Amino acid sequence: MLSVVLGLLTATFFASTSLISSRAVKVIGSGSSLAWTMAVGLVITVPFVVASGVPANLGPSLPWMALAGLGNVLGILLAGFALRVGKVGVVAPILATGGAISALISALLGESIAPIVAFLLLVIVGGVVLSAIAPDPAPLENERPVYAVVVTVLAAVCIGVGLFSTGNLSGDLPLSWVLLPPRIVGVLVLFLPLLVVRRLRITRDTVWMVVAMGFTEVIGYVCFAIGAQYQLAVMSVFASQFAPIAAVAAYFLFRERLGRLQIAGVVVIVLGVTALSLVN
């Protein structure tokens, strides 16, 4: 029961992050939106890092921490670019394939991969392609659906790399230290450079957005990490459901409509990711 509750919370927080990001990036841009989000997340995380102390095995973990931070930040940055010209209902399901990509990386690096896993990965790819080529019955202003899908695929790959690297940290470091790398990278690579060159943007209407994203992203990962200690498969399934939650919410909140083939592509992706979470 605890895994179910934490899984639902994880999906809800991740969906909230995607929905809020889709609005913020249109106003202040993907770079500034992510920079502020990671700065807020760092402020939230640092007290817990200090309280947990410096891990004894921190040195050997530093390369994985750097890769986890870079993968996560670059993935979210690319996702922001996609959300500026694409619909949440298409972008979110493709982002949800990050876990599948992480599994594929493990396979490519020597871990065995079952035939059913290979088949499900092909199914997910088919859903992504269908989402990209399907006609859009109600395009958004300045929408570029093919570009959005391509950029989102790149974002999912980066997120997959970040998840794979984080997986190599989770058994060695306290949770607060596992959450730290993306926030440090985000501040060092985005926040400070944009601040120095005076291109760090924020408006009165987007202050609450970046603060909310800073909290929802951190809390979402915390819920997932805690639940994964009990039932990883259940948590993976529920976490991937942030995609349909975000798509449905975008329909009611933003009036984003998807065509039948687009919906079919989204359903294929979600079902593929869900099945992969259960068998992997």
Is 0.75 surpassed by the pTM of this model? yes
User: In the prediction, which pLDDT does 113 show?
Assistant: 65
CA 9/CA 261 separation, integer angstroms = 29
- In this structure, are residues 6 and 235 in contact, taking their beta carbons and an 8 Å threshold? yes
What are the boundaries of each domain within the chain?
2-279
Give dist(CA 202, CA 214) in Å, integer.
14
Cα 88 to Cα 15: distance, rounded to the nearest angstrom: 10
Token pair for 278: 């259960």
Residue 269: its pLDDT value, please? 86
What is the tens place of the pLDDT at every residue in 107-118?
Answer: 777 656 677 877
Residue 234, pLDDT score: 67
Which residues in the chain land under pLDDT 70?
Answer: 1, 110-113, 170, 231-236, 277, 280
Residue showing tokens 């919906």: 263
Q: Which residues contact 44 (CB under 8 A, 6 or more apart)?
A: 214, 215, 218
Q: What is the pLDDT of residue 274?
A: 79
Q: Residue 255, by phi and psi: left (phi above 0), alpha (psi -120 to 50) or beta? A: left
3-state SS, residue 219:
helix
